[in-house]
Amino acid sequence: MRLNLTGLTAYVDQEKMALIRKSILGGKTVDIINVQPEIKNAAAINIIGSTLTAQAGACGFNAQGSTALTQRNIVVDDIKVNESICLNDLEAYYTSKSMKPGSYNEQIPFEGLFAEEKSAEIQKLIEDLVWKGDKATGVGNLLLSDGFIKLLATGTVGVTKVAITTANAIAQIDAVIAATPTDIIDADNLVLFLGYDTYRTAATALRNSNLFHYTGAEENFEMVWPGTNVKLVATRGLNGSGNMYLSTADNFYMGTDLLSDSEDFSIWYSKDNDEVRFSAKWKQGVQVAFPSLVVAYK
């Protein structure tokens, strides 16, 4: 007589499998551009510009030329994330093995991984909002703040966008770089922001052109475009858009309240609600000092 096990569900040992946090492309733009802290609502970028009129040397004083003081405002938006977890819900699953004995659990058994996951997701959201945010037409989280794509819809040096392929990537990037305004053409911090997808296509095009030493990921998906002073920087915020933006790094601004706001959050047990709660709050907004010094491939 054999053992009949048809009434049982096959056992899967989940306890030995660690939670695997999703691999998320972290925000890079904020590390490169200007960050303006301590903004509660709005702040001005103070700009000075001159029209210089030189004259032949002679006695006397003849005032000519002018100096203009102008401003462009950074408006920040309040953003928050709130989440709650009922610990009782975890008792029916493998997570119960990591919970303390008794019915008064007050801590998530995987709190460390939970915190890392939330931190990574917040950085992902910040990067997406920096570029794709649109309070008028955005979808989901992208409604929370305006980004550079919306901000630079007009007023830039425009280069008409086409679908980037390995056959045309080099020519298209060359065209963007060729459109660099002469006032910044010799700047030592020229940067071309593009999506990871566009970057990889461009890197493949370089390799196919027998430039084997350009691997496409020299420094975390950043490289100086051959024969130029322009650094290509891949950002997840432009993934899927096909857009590219070139200017000096210090022409781009992000405003926030405190520099640590986006890195800090709270996890606590609420006795009143008998649940663990998560809260994160920060402010963000973007601006460009001189849109006319931006080449937009859009």
Tell me the pLDDT tens digit for each residue of 82-105.
999 888 877 777 676 677 776 677
Give the residues across from 276 on adjacent strands: 85, 269
Cα(146)–Cα(135) distance, rounded to whole angstroms? Answer: 6
Task: Please tell me the distance from the alpha carbon of residue 72 to that of residue 34, in angstroms, as a whole number.
Answer: 14
Return the pLDDT at 65.
79
Quick one: which of 125, 42, 114 has its CA closest to 81?
125
Whole-angstrom Cα distance, residue 208 to residue 174? Answer: 16
For the entire predicted model, the pTM comes to 0.84
Which pLDDT score is estimated for 17?
A: 46
The tokens 């095009």 sit on which residue?
A: 205
The pLDDT value recorded for residue 195 is 97
- Residue 112, φ and ψ in degrees, nearest 5: -60, -50
CA proximity to 294, closest of 242, 247, 229, 251: 247
- 3-class DSSP state for residue 142? helix
Query: Around 29, how many Cα atoms within 13 Å sit in the side-chain half-sphere?
Result: 31
Which residues, in sequence order, are CB contacts of 47 under 8 Å at separation 6+?
69, 70, 71, 72, 289, 290
Quick one: which of 185, 175, 193, 184 has its CA closest to 243? Answer: 193
| pLDDT digits 0-9 by tens, 218-240 | 668 999 999 999 999 999 999 99
Q: 3-class SS at 167? A: coil
Pairwise CA distance, residues 111 & 129, whole Å:
27
CA 99 – CA 121 distance, rounded (Å): 25
Note the pLDDT tens digit of each residue in 12-45: 555 444 544 443 445 689 889 998 888 888 888 7
Q: What integer pLDDT is reported at residue 194 of this predicted model?
A: 98
Which residue(s) pair with 85 in the sheet?
276
Q: How many residues does the chain have?
A: 298
Please give the pLDDT value at position 218.
60
Which one-letter amino acid corresponds to residue 223?
M
Domains identified in the chain and CATH numbers: 29-52+64-297 (3.90.1690)
Q: What is the mean pLDDT of each run of 10 residues along the chain (298 residues)?
A: 62 49 59 89 79 83 78 90 86 71 77 85 92 97 97 96 97 98 96 97 89 60 93 96 97 86 78 89 93 97
Q: Which amino acid is at 291?
A: P
What pLDDT shows up at residue 90? Answer: 75
* Per-residue pLDDT at 23: 39
Q: Give the burial class of 202: count Cβ atoms within 10 A of its Cβ; 0-12 exposed, 13-18 middle, 19 or more buried.
A: buried
